[in-house]
Amino acid sequence: MERIKWPTINILFFLLLLIVLGTANLLQSDRPVVSEKENRTLASMPDFSWEALFSGEYSSGIDSFISDTFLFRENFLSLSRNLHALQGITAGKDDLTIVSFSGNNIDDSSNDRENANAAAEQFLAQAQERAAEQEKERRQAAWNTALSSSENRPQDETATSDNDEMTLSSSLLIIGNRIMEPFGYTKSKWEAYAGTVNRIDEKLAGNVRLISLIAPSSAAFYLDEKYSKYSSDQAAAIAHGYECMNEDILTISCYDTLAAHKNEYLYFRSDHHWTALGAYYAYICFLKEAYPDEQPVIPEELESGEAEGFLGYLNHVAPQSPLEDNPDTVYYWYPQVESTLTVYDDGYGTEGRQKPLLDPSCAGSYGSSNHYSIFLSGDHPFAKIESSLENGRVLLVSKDSYGNALVPWLVNHYQTIYVVDPRYFEGDLAQVCQDLAVDDLLIFNNVFSVGNAKWAAYIGDMFGLE
């Protein structure tokens, strides 16, 4: 009798394994909706239509659905993360790990009556000048309060020091109990981004005031100088980006203000986003440039809340994270005006649904990784915020996810705010600006989005740029 050879057994075993796993994957009833490891919503089963079938969109959607909901997917992600940990290296005497990670004088005189009138008018003018000076002092006091460090504001009790050990693991930096992404500057990509913003400005032809705000990341402030070689100079990159933009574009620099407050809780330690307090100081810079005669809101005077136990995206992709037992806290402040948020999941012009501007219930959904969705109730292709203000002012914000924490502060100064996410928005945003009588267009991105050619393409596509 001929003996069965080992290669045949291996093939049969492999085929059996594929059949069992494939069948189990197809029959699983409780498919995951959110990946806690990746901190994102997973693909859902696409709706069938003949148009989608013939365009290939339907089959592509099925591929994404199966890939995102494959059996034991989260376990495989954990295994992959642990394997990447074995690639860590040690730099110098310090344990530095890089983790692999794919804002009227009156003058009149003639006769006595005219002189009398002139005296009265002069008195009135002086009174107006005194009132204006007092108002100026009051506004300055408000700005000073807004920009002053306060013990009542969340402090960064884990600020880095020269004695902190660091870990390098391919493309993440871990220092103490903070995880950061190193910033890599590519001049051509930043100039291309500025070029896209310039072309949008030219297309709007002065009908809308264009405002650009670029947010730095945590590595700009919490990476010790001796490790600066691992991350490019963000201040210089942002300055160059603004230099390349048209003169009529209002550029907002918040770098120095954030640097002056870096001992406060400006960035999450386990996530790539800034906190609401970090966004607050950017809002201060925005308001000072865009509407200098208005006073900023003061966090200590607002209703607020907090959600503990946040372990963000970087925590889930970093091997051997030091934050599992020391998670972040999400602090948030409600606007001083009444507001409503309507989100349009299918984009501009479709039917919308009401959502909270700040939704604390997100902190209790999908484990410990969804807390940042408190802001704007997450990302949406298109959203509309209406406030109780009656100043007629309209803002449209094109933003990445850093913008979610910024927009609630801006609600205090606009009657209407529209928010678009370039990743999901479909349509002609220039026409939308015209249809909705937009006053200000804020193009807001963090340094990583600016340096991503794909992101510049997303923004260009919204305005029909080729």
DSSP annotation string for 267-331? B-SSSSSB-HHHHHHHHHHHHHHH-TTSPPP-GGGS-EEEEEEE--HHHHHSTT-TTTTS-EEEE
pTM, two decimals, is: 0.75
Residues 6+ away with beta carbon under 8 Å from 76: 70
Round to whole Å and give the CA distance between 377 and 297: 22
Q: Does 297 map to a domain?
A: yes
Looking at 6, 41, 63, which one is the last position of a domain? 63
Q: What is the predicted pLDDT for the residue at 105?
A: 32
Q: Does 6 map to a domain?
A: no
Same domain? For 267 and 404 the reply is yes
Q: Does 416 map to a domain?
A: yes
Angle (nearest 5°) at CA 456 between 453 and 462:
145
Q: Does 382 map to a domain?
A: yes
Same domain? For 56 and 197 the reply is no
Cα–Cα nearest to 434, from 123, 180, 176, 205 = 205
Cα–Cα nearest to 179, from 319, 37, 366, 34 = 319
Q: Does 144 map to a domain?
A: no
Would you call 333 helix, strand, or coil by DSSP?
strand
Round to whole Å and give the CA distance between 205 and 192: 20
Same domain? For 239 and 383 the reply is yes
Would you call 408 helix, strand, or coil by DSSP?
helix
266: its two tokens: 């400006």
The residue segments making up the domain with residue 422 are 184-462
Low-confidence spans in the chain with pLDDT less than 50: 1, 89-94, 103-116, 123, 159-162, 168-170
Q: Does 116 map to a domain?
A: no
Q: What is the predicted pLDDT for the residue at 107?
A: 34
Q: Does 206 map to a domain?
A: yes
Cα–Cα nearest to 301, from 415, 155, 134, 153 = 153
Q: Does 315 map to a domain?
A: yes
Q: What is the predicted pLDDT for the residue at 116?
A: 44
Round to whole Å and give the CA distance between 251 and 441: 12
Same domain? For 188 and 58 the reply is no
The domain total for the chain is: 2
Same domain? For 57 and 195 the reply is no
Q: What is the predicted pLDDT for the residue at 106?
A: 29
Q: What is the predicted pLDDT for the residue at 375?
A: 96
Q: What is the predicted pLDDT for the residue at 26?
A: 65
Round to whole Å and give the CA distance between 257 and 274: 14
Q: What is the predicted pLDDT for the residue at 97?
A: 57
Cα–Cα nearest to 302, from 265, 340, 278, 337 = 337
Q: What is the CA radius of gyration of the chain?
A: 27
Q: What is the predicted pLDDT for the residue at 241?
A: 97
Beta bridge pairs of residue 215: 446
